[in-house]
Structure 1
């Protein structure tokens, strides 16, 4: 069954009804009307062609709910198998691919190592991974989402700068599209993960929230008034490059000094932990072990990282005012070593009532990041 975006783009009401059912369903028409502000007649009119096209279905009699005295309601639900989407998360060392259904439920997953970070080699690897992970869905996947760390121009399909891959100005959507024959959307990895959380995770039902990631880099995705914020230059939410140290703070790869990322990224922590432990071969796992073992100097490195993260989060919350902040990323393996400092710095620096903004810790494996890339592909259904 071919993708029929025209059904979903037929009107703003159709778009609104479908996204409401997608993110909150199964849900009855009166509830859709209440959530969206549309009239009951408008909801019914918008839903009819989507039911006929196989995007929505009315639940069976056994599954229906009852609203009011003796008035059965037939909730609408998304037909999850109507379309399938491939998501690929690109890291410096690995490609992680998933296939999801229309509700972003992972149906298949596969990983392959990155042995060469050259653009041609990575594109070839993505194409091979897509063939492998989607083999059981041949002919039923029509869109690929690819997420990459760094400065990504989603509209133009370009990776403007990815420090961990060493890329500048790469037309990745065009290259992957040519290699796979599919429509491709490229997005910053944190923003893609934020889309998945907005539609299918912690962000459901909120008008504004933020997702901050701690690990190789320090990233942040922002949703305001129900929309992912990209900003005029596509780099909104880069809390990793908020300066939190004085002018003599450590240099950052961005060219600035004293950035959160220059103090709290995995590379920054390892570099400082090696000096503290006088061990040039120490890696992140070893630093965590030393800190857990009571090495005061290494523990101080993690504490300083936590303070930097907390200050960065407070600056973002003071400016944007999200209802909640989700904290995730591979760096959560060390979260117990700097949680106290994150929360203390956040509480001290957040202005007034903003200090009540909850920090929700949510560990997410790499497959969830790939799912975020697939969610961007799902989101593409709603853009012309």
Structure 2
């Protein structure tokens, strides 16, 4: 497999240059005056930061074709040249690997899906390597080098060390994924928790653009939460900040795979809902698809299971808002397929648990396919490439 330079990177060697680049990446095209206003840098500092980035071709003047529909733009704004570099992002789920090829602006150019039949690290690594090779071949058609690989995995992930400490859905412990993937692909590798990776993409390119404080809550196989506080993605001293799925909200509730009881995930995760539907209906419900179908058919036991899940999610969101006071909470994840079944319970439980004006927090839903999670992995690779890891 081909390798790419591990030393070339965006010449954003100062905090000011990194700030300018990420500001233009998220909000551009922008004039230099707009950059100065958004970053609170002086005009001279902006000029100094922009110059090497333009000389290297990462920033250019003028509006690209994809942005020309934005009327009233100034004639010569500064923008990121998305075609200057390519990145690969990979999201690993319990039963599928999704890989995307993106440009420097994190726009998906090519996407690949591969069923995951063996969760053993070596088998997953081989599958990732195969997908990366396919996307490297696709990249040849663009005539641009792939500069980094981002991998997104659920669970306790140490981004600094590049190690998956514990991933319950893959049953992995202490897997040095960054080193292993770097060896087989020859690419610089960034490994992060999948929800945090998706949070990075939302912060730069999605519903979190322009917000200094927001939370991304994901519902589905697990219950996750990515946090942005004062413009920085928060991982915490031990790398597990935002694990609201393991808030114990019912001491007498069902056991959780983490060892505690009554965790949000043990009530509202897909497998927990399926178990609950089996218990209350006595039917041999095999998976979340069958549970969802049963609830939509009006089965009272199945509807109760989803209502219970919604209450748990709403209480967890209330806890996040009470503690951090974000401007917005974005709810996403594959579990939104059942949103109509528990939306009311989420709203009611949130309103009941949010303290005072915290209840005014903007809570919105944003369905995102797994390709967007892989795009989040690519966003972490872009972060590493331009030297702006916001942790």
- Residue 34 of structure 2, aligned match among 31, 37, 46: 31
SS of match in other structure, 1:87: strand
2:115 to 103, 107, 113: 113
* Aligned position for 2:191: 186
Partner of 1:306: 310
**Quick one: structure 1 residues 326 and 6, their matched pair in 2 at CA, closer, same or farther if it must change by over 3 Å?**
closer
1:10-89 superposed matches below 5 A:
11-59=14-62, 74-89=76-91
Q: Is the 8 A contact 1:8 1:381 kept in 2?
A: no
Q: TM-score, normalised by structure 1?
A: 0.95
The match for 1:94 is 96
Residues 256 and 47 of structure 1: CA distance in aligned 2, closer, same or farther (over 3 Å): same
- Residue 281 to residue 77, structure 1, CA distance change in 2 (3 Å): same
Equivalents in 2 of 1:330, 1:266: separation in Å? 9
Closer/same/farther in 2, CA of residues 6 and 338 from structure 1, 3 Å limit: closer
Distance 1:328 1:60, change over 3 A: closer
Q: What corresponds to 1:222 in structure 2? A: 227
1:292 aligns to 2:292 (yes or no): no
Kept in 2: contact 1:65–1:74 (CA 8 A): no
Q: State the 1:341 CA deviation.
A: 0.1
1:123-181: CA deviation from partner (whole Å, max 9, x where unpaired): 01100011112312146102100000000000000000000000000000001111111
Within 5 A, what are the aligned runs for 1:1-384? 4-5=8-9, 7-9=11-13, 11-59=14-62, 74-138=76-140, 140-245=145-250, 247-383=251-387
Instruction: Classify the secondary structure of the residue corresponding to 2:228.
Output: strand
Whether the 8 Å CA contact 1:65–1:73 is kept in 2: the answer is: no
Structure 2 unaligned blocks of 5 or more: none
Summarize deviations over 1:229-286 as a string: whole Å, max 9, x none.
Answer: 00000000001011111x2211000011110000000000001101222112442112
Change (3 A) 1:61 1:362: closer
Q: Secondary structure at the match of 2:97?
A: strand
Write the distance in 2 (CA, Å) between the matches of 1:294 and 1:341: 17
Structure 1 portions without partners, runs of 5+: none
State the distance in 2 between where 1:281 and 1:61 align: 51
Partner Cα distance (1:364, 1:187) in 2: 18
In the alignment, the residues of structure 2 paired with residue 39 and residue 255 of structure 1 have an alpha-carbon distance, to the nearest angstrom, of: 53
Q: Secondary structure at the match of 2:284?
A: coil
Given the superposition, is the C-alpha separation of residues 20 and 6 from structure 1 closer, same or farther in structure 2, using an over 3 Å criterion? closer
Q: Structure 2 vs 1, CA of residues 164 and 33 (structure 1 numbering), >3 Å: closer, same or farther?
A: same
CA RMSD of aligned residues (A): 1.9
Matches of 1:179 and 1:228 in 2, distance apart? 29
Q: Distance in 2 between matches of 1:152 and 1:95?
A: 17
Bigger drift between 11-20 and 215-224 goes to 11-20
Pick closer, same or farther for the CA change 1:41–1:273 going to 2, 3 Å. Answer: same
Q: Could you tell me whether the CA contact under 8 Å between 1:92 and 1:164 is conserved in 2? A: yes
| 3-state SS of paired residue (2:79) | strand
Whether the 8 Å CA contact 2:148–2:385 is kept in 1: the answer is no
8 Å CA contact 2:18, 2:387 repeated in 1: no
* Mapped partners of 1:378, 1:86: distance in 2: 9
